[in-house]
Amino acid sequence: MAAMTRGSSTLFRRWLTQQCRRRSAAHVALRLLPAAAAATATPQRRWPVRGMDYRASPRAPLHASAARRGPVVQFKLSDIGEGITEVTVKEWYVKEGDKVSQFDSICEVQSDKASVTITSRYDGVIGKLYYRADDVALVGKPLVDIDTEPASDAIQEEDVVETPAMAREEHTHQEIKGLKTQATPAVRRLAMENNIKLSEVVGSGKDGRILKEDILNFLAKQTGAILPPSPFRETASADPPPAARPMPPPPPRVPAGRDSVEPLKGFQKAMAKSMTAALAIPHLGLCDEVDLGRLVELRSELAPEARAQGLKLSYMPFFIKAASLCLARFPVLNASLDEGCQNVTYKASHNIGVAMDTDLGLLVPTVKNVQRLSILEVAWELNRLQELGAAGQLGTADLSGGTFSLSNIGSIGGTYARPVILPPEVAIGALGRIQVLPRFDASGQVTRAHVMKVSWSADHRLVDGATMCRFSNTWRDFLQNPAAMLLHLK
**Residue 356 β-bridge partners:** 363
Query: How many CB atoms are closer than 10 A to CB 397?
Result: 18
Task: Please select the residue that binds ligand CO6; options are 395, 419, 424, 482, rule is CB under 6 A.
Answer: 419
Q: Does 410 bind ligand CO6 (CB under 6 A)?
A: yes
Binding window for ligand CO6 (CB under 6 A); candidates: 15-23, 207-215, 270-278, 428-436:
428-436
Task: Please select the residue that binds ligand CO6; options are 430, 451, 483, 485, rule is CB under 6 A.
Answer: 430
CB 291 within 8 A of CB 451: yes
Residues 177-236 that bind ligand CO6 (CB under 6 A): 236
CB 416 within 8 A of CB 69: no
Binding window for ligand CO6 (CB under 6 A); candidates: 1-9, 111-119, 353-361, 437-445:
353-361
Binding window for ligand CO6 (CB under 6 A); candidates: 3-11, 106-114, 143-151, 427-435:
427-435
**124 vs 402, which CB is nearer to ligand CO6?**
402
CB 47 within 8 A of CB 163: yes
Alpha carbon separation from 405 to 15, 165, 289, 366 (Å, rounded): 28, 24, 18, 8
Q: From the candidates 338, 464, 477, 488, which is the catalytic residue?
A: 464
Residue nearest to ligand CO6 (CB): 410
464 belongs to the catalytic site: yes
- Taking the C-alpha atoms of residue 70 and residue 63, their distance in angstroms, rounded to an integer, is 10
CB 391 within 8 A of CB 368: no
Q: Does 403 bind ligand CO6 (CB under 6 A)?
A: no
Residues 301-330 that bind ligand CO6 (CB under 6 A): 314-316
**In the bound complex, what is the minimum distance in angstroms from residue 480's beta carbon to ligand CO6?**
15
450 belongs to the catalytic site: no
Task: Please select the residue that binds ligand CO6; options are 239, 338, 464, 477, rule is CB under 6 A.
Answer: 239
**129 vs 379, which CB is nearer to ligand CO6?**
379
Q: Does 356 bind ligand CO6 (CB under 6 A)?
A: yes
Residues known to be catalytic: 460, 464
Q: Which residues bind ligand CO6 (CB under 6 A)?
A: 236, 239, 242, 314-316, 354-357, 362, 382, 386, 407-412, 417-420, 430-431, 433-434, 452
